[in-house]
Structure 1
Amino acid sequence: MATTTAIRVGCINAILSPSTKTSEHKPVVSHPSSFAVKPWLSSSSLHRSSLTRPFSSCSTSPSPPSGVARCSISRRPDYVPNYIPDPSYVRIFDTTLRDGEQSPGATMTSTEKLAVAHKLARLGVDIIEAGFPASSPDDLEAVRAIAIDVGNNPTEDGHVPVICGLARCNKKDIDLAWEAVRLAKKPRVHTFIATSDIHLHYKLRKSREEVVRIAREMVAYARSLGCQDIEFSPEDAGRSDREFLYQVLEEVIEAGATTVNIPDTVGYTVPSEFGQLIADIKSKTRGIENVVISTHCQNDLGLATANTLAGACAGARQLEVTVNGIGERAGNASLEEVVMAICCRTQAMGGMYTGINARHISMTSKMVAEYTGLQVQPHKAIVGANAFAHESGIHQDGMLKFKGTYEIMSPEDVGLSRSNESGIVLGKLSGRHALKSKLTELGYDVSGKELDDVFKRFKEIAEKKK
C-alpha cells in the first residue's frame, strides 16, 4: 500500500500550543481516532437524471481550460438490433454477469445477479449479458428471472436493456439460451465458435470448412426459433487468419446475425493491431454494413481498455465490458474506464457518446465488489480508493488552488463524494499548504514561525508512521 500517514489527534495536540486553536468553532473530526486518512469516498445521493439532461462535467470549472475534460449525455437512439441510427452512439454491452462471473471465486447467487442486473439497468447499459444458461440449471433460472424482471420493467428514465444469453454453436445451448431470454422485451442470443487455427486444431479438432458450416447453421437455427437479435462471436479472432475470419463473418451475416463481435480472447493484440483488425473487417467483409460491429477485449497484457477504444475509433459501435474489469484470467475491458474515456475525451474520440449515467458507476462498482468478493485495488482508475486522493505536496498545492491542475474529472461525476473538497491525504510527502488547510479545517489557526514548527514535527511523525 502507499505510505499514507494516519496522524492521531493526540499527536496533533502534542505539537500545537493551546492558543493555536480558534475559539470560533471546534475541530471537526470524522473519526475519533484519526486526523488525516485517505479521503472517504462514498456514494453520493444519486438523482435519477434523464438521459436528455447533461450531467455534470468531468471538470469542476464551468469553463474548463485546455486539458480539463467536460462530459454530457445526449438522447439514447431507438434500439434496432442490426443498426444504430446515430453513428456517434456507442452501445455498452455489459458481461459482468457472464464473463465477469468466470473470475475464479466470483460466483454470485441468483438473487445477487438479479440485484446487479437492476443496477446495470439504472446505470444505463444497453445490453446485459445475464449469463450462460447451458452452464447450469441455476444460471438458466437466473437469466430467465432477469429477462422477466429487468427485461420488461423500465428504469426511472424509461430505459429497458436488451437481455442476452450466451450459447455455444449447438442446438441444445441455443435452445436453452432462447428459453431463458425470450420473455424479455428485447431478447438476444449470443452464440460463438472458435476460428483460430490453434483452437481448431487443439480444442475443436475440426476443419475450417466444418466451422463455417456450424456457424452458419447455428445462427440460422437461432433465427428459426423466432429470435430476431443474434450476436455471433468468432472466438480468438485476434489470432485468427484474416481471410478465414472474413469468410466466417460473411456466412453468419447472411444467415441472420445482427451483431458480429470480435473477441481478442487471450488479450494478444496491441491497440494498433486491434484497431486495424476492426478497420479491415469493416472494409473487407461482405454485408458488414448490415450489422453492428462489437469488441470484446481481454486484459492479459493490460491493454483491454486501450484495445477497446482503438476498436471504437476504427468503427466498432458496441463495446463489451465488465464492471471493475473482472473476468477470466486478467479480466476484461473495464466499463468505468471505457465509459469515462469516451465521456471525458469525446472530441478526441470523434464525438462518440454512450447512454451511461456515470453517477451510478460507484454504486455499481461497490455492489459487484461486495457480491463477487473481488475487491478493487486502491490505484484502480475511476473507482479505486486512491483515484481522487493526493498526497504529494506539489499536487496538493495545485489542488488547493484549482482542482483541474491534477484531476481531469471530479469524483462527483462517477457518484462519489469525499470528506474534503480537494482530496488531500496527509503523509510524509505533503507540504505546508496542505497541512495548514487541514489544520484550519479542524479549527486551528496556525501561521508563520509556529506553522514552521508544527510542520517540522508533523514530518517527523509522518516519516515514522503509515
Structure 2
Amino acid sequence: MAGAPNNVVFFDTTLRDGEQSPGCSMTEAEKLRMAHALEDLGVDIMEAGFAISSEGDFQAIQRIAREIRRPVIASLARARREDIERAAASIEGAAKARIHTFLASSDIHLEFKLKMSREKALAQVGEMVALARTYVEDIEFSAEDATRTDMDYLCAMTQIAIEAGATTINLPDTTGYSTPEDYAAMYRVVYQRVLAGTPYADTVILSTHCHDDLGLAVANTLAGIEGGARQVECTINGIGERAGNAALEEIAAALRVRADRYKVESNIVLEKLYPTSQLLGETISFRPAPNKAIVGENAFAHEAGIHQHGMLANPLTYEIMTPASVGQPANKLVLGKHSGRAALRSRLAELGFVLPAEQLDAAYAAFTTLADKKKSIYDQDLVKLANQASGVEAADDAAQAAQV
C-alpha cells in the first residue's frame, strides 16, 4: 500500500478538532506554544486550524505556518471554493503545506445536513479537490461519516477525489459508531476496489480519524492500521468534539509496546508524551483524568498490596512500559488501605526507618487502622507510626513527663 509500509504518519489535530471542543479554546500565542511542543514531539502533520472559521484562527494558522518548519502544516476547508481559497492563503508561508478538505458521504448527512444529492456531492468533491490542487500538491480529502456510508458510494467518492488530485484519503469514524472489525474491513475494501492495481496504490495514503463516543477511538485506529491505513489522526489527551478523538499518546505507546503485533514505526518521541500532555493541561481548562492511560497521574501508581509487592520484586510484574519511556516521573507506590507490609516497609526505609519484624507488624496494624479513616496517608503520618512502633514517641513522652 501507499507510503512506507512499516511507517505510520501521525497527523495531529489538537489545534483544530481538539481546540474547537468546549473548554479547549486557545489564544494565538497558546496555539503557537503547543505547535512548538508538537513539533518537538515528532508529529508529521499538524492541522493548525480551520482558516475560514474566524480571523483569529486564520492568523494563528499563518503564524504557525511561518514558524513551524519540520512538520507539514495543514489547514482545514469544507469542499467549498471560499473555504479552500482561505485555507490556501493561511498556509502560504509554510515550508510544507497541505489543504485538508472534506464533504459528507453518508446519506443521512447528505439529506439532512447538506440537502444534496449523491450525484451533486460527487461532482463537488471532484471540482473542489482539483481546485485545492492548484494551490498545493499535498491534498487530503475526508469523506465525513465514512463508517455510515454505503460502501459502493464511498468507493466512488474516494476514486473521484484521487483522480482529482488527493494524495491522502481519510475515512473518518465521525460519530464514533464503528467497531474495530468493521473499521479494518472498510480499509481493505477501499484499497482493493479503488487502489489495488492502479498507479495510485503506491502514492495515495489511507488515513484514520476516530471519535470516542463508544470508547473505541484508539482500538478503531489500531484496527485501521491493521487494515492498511498509514496515517492516523489524533489529539493530545484525546481532546475533541463530544467524547473526543483518538489519543495520540495511547496510539504511539501501543505501537511501541506491541510492535510484535503491529510491526510499524513512527517518528513520535515517546519520552515527550507526558510533558506535552502536561503543557496542554496547563493551556486549556482541564487535565486528563488521573486514570488516563499513559499520561494520567495514576498511570504508573500502585496501591493494592499484591501489586506493590510485585512491583518491589520486579516492576515488569505489573508495568508493561517504564514511566521514563513516556516521560512520566518514576512509578509511585501509593500507600492506602489496600497496601501491604512490603510497600510500608519500603516507604519507611526510604524515610530512614528500618524496623524489625515485631515493630513492623505493630506499625502495619496502626497503619491499616489509620488508612481506614484517611483517604491520603502522608509521610508525616508514617514517621509518627514508625516512632510509635519503635517506642521513640513513648520515650519522648516519658521524658517530658519527668521534666514536668
Q: Same fold (TM over 0.5)?
A: yes
Q: State whether structure 2 residue 263 is matched by structure 1 residue 345.
A: no
Residue 127 of structure 1 is matched in structure 2 by: 45
Q: State whether structure 2 residue 299 is matched by structure 1 residue 387.
A: yes
User: How far 1:347 moved relative to its partner?
Assistant: 1.3
User: How far 1:447 moved relative to its partner?
Assistant: 2.1
Deviations 1:247-277 (A, max 9, x none): 0000010000000001000000010010111
Matches within 5 A, 1:299-448: 299-349=212-262, 351-418=263-330, 422-448=331-357
- The alignment partner of 2:158 has SS state of helix
The alignment's TM-score, normalised by the length of structure 1, stands at 0.79
Q: In the aligned structure 1, how far is the partner of 2:164 from the partner of 2:354? A: 75
User: How far 1:417 moved relative to its partner?
Assistant: 1.7
Matched letter for residue 110 of structure 1: E
Q: State whether structure 2 residue 156 is matched by structure 1 residue 247.
A: yes
Q: In the aligned structure 2, how far is the partner of 1:125 from the partner of 1:428? A: 42
Residue 207 of structure 2 is matched in structure 1 by: 294
Q: In the aligned structure 2, how far is the partner of 1:372 from the partner of 1:242? A: 39
Q: In the aligned structure 2, how far is the partner of 1:145 from the partner of 1:447? A: 64
- The alignment partner of 1:98 has SS state of helix
Matches within 5 A, 1:174-185: 174-185=84-95
Q: In the aligned structure 1, how far is the partner of 2:151 from the partner of 2:2? A: 24
- The alignment partner of 1:163 has SS state of strand
- The alignment partner of 2:24 has SS state of coil
Q: 1:114 aligns with which of 8, 12, 32?
A: 32
Q: 2:181 aligns with which of 245, 269, 272?
A: 272
Matched letter for residue 130 of structure 1: A
User: How far 1:336 moved relative to its partner?
Assistant: 0.2
Residue 25 of structure 1 is matched in structure 2 by: none
- The alignment partner of 1:102 has SS state of coil
- The alignment partner of 1:193 has SS state of strand
Unaligned segments of structure 2, at least 5 residues:
376-404
Matched letter for residue 23 of structure 2: G
Percent of aligned pairs with the same amino acid: 50
- The alignment partner of 1:125 has SS state of coil
The alignment's TM-score, normalised by the length of structure 2, stands at 0.90
Matched letter for residue 106 of structure 2: S
- The alignment partner of 1:328 has SS state of coil
Q: In the aligned structure 1, how far is the partner of 2:372 from the partner of 2:20? A: 42
Deviations 1:404-452 (A, max 9, x none): 000001110111223xxx5211000000011001001000121211111
Q: In the aligned structure 1, how far is the partner of 2:156 from the partner of 2:26? A: 38
Residue 457 of structure 1 is matched in structure 2 by: 366
Matched letter for residue 285 of structure 1: V
Residue 219 of structure 1 is matched in structure 2 by: 129
User: How far 1:373 moved relative to its partner?
Assistant: 1.1
Matched letter for residue 316 of structure 1: A
Unaligned segments of structure 1, at least 5 residues:
1-81, 153-159
Residue 194 of structure 2 is matched in structure 1 by: 285
- The alignment partner of 1:191 has SS state of strand
- The alignment partner of 1:385 has SS state of coil
- The alignment partner of 2:46 has SS state of strand
User: How far 1:374 moved relative to its partner?
Assistant: 2.3
Matched letter for residue 118 of structure 2: R
Q: In the aligned structure 1, how far is the partner of 2:91 from the partner of 2:318? A: 45
Matches within 5 A, 1:162-173: 162-173=72-83
Q: In the aligned structure 2, how far is the partner of 1:375 from the partner of 1:103? A: 14
Consecutive aligned runs of 4 or more in structure 1 exceeding 3 Å deviation: none
User: How far 1:182 moved relative to its partner?
Assistant: 2.2
Q: 1:199 aligns with which of 98, 105, 109?
A: 109
Q: In the aligned structure 2, how far is the partner of 1:375 from the partner of 1:448? A: 42
Residue 101 of structure 1 is matched in structure 2 by: 19
Q: In the aligned structure 2, how far is the partner of 1:414 from the partner of 1:101? A: 23
Matches within 5 A, 1:140-151: 140-150=58-68
Residue 138 of structure 1 is matched in structure 2 by: 56
Matches within 5 A, 1:52-67: none
Residue 401 of structure 2 is matched in structure 1 by: none
Deviations 1:211-265 (A, max 9, x none): 000000000001123x100000000001001000000000010000000001000
Q: In the aligned structure 1, how far is the partner of 2:112 from the partner of 2:159? A: 25
Q: 1:262 aligns with which of 171, 178, 188?
A: 171
User: How far 1:185 moved relative to its partner?
Assistant: 0.9
Find the structure with the greater CA-based Rg. Answer: 2
Q: In the aligned structure 1, how far is the partner of 2:157 from the partner of 2:286? A: 37
Q: In the aligned structure 2, how far is the partner of 1:374 from the partner of 1:310? A: 29
Q: In the aligned structure 2, how far is the partner of 1:250 from the partner of 1:106? A: 36
User: How far 1:396 moved relative to its partner?
Assistant: 0.2
User: How far 1:83 moved relative to its partner?
Assistant: 4.9
Deviations 1:140-179 (A, max 9, x none): 00000000001x3xxxxxxx10000000001110011111
Residue 391 of structure 2 is matched in structure 1 by: none
Q: CA RMSD in A?
A: 1.0
Q: In the aligned structure 2, how far is the partner of 1:369 from the partner of 1:116? A: 11
Q: In the aligned structure 2, how far is the partner of 1:338 from the partner of 1:409? A: 14
Matched letter for residue 181 of structure 1: I
- The alignment partner of 2:99 has SS state of strand
Q: In the aligned structure 1, how far is the partner of 2:130 from the partner of 2:8? A: 27
Deviations 1:41-62 (A, max 9, x none): xxxxxxxxxxxxxxxxxxxxxx
Matched letter for residue 345 of structure 2: K
- The alignment partner of 1:260 has SS state of strand
Residue 157 of structure 1 is matched in structure 2 by: none
Q: In the aligned structure 2, how far is the partner of 1:329 from the partner of 1:258? A: 29
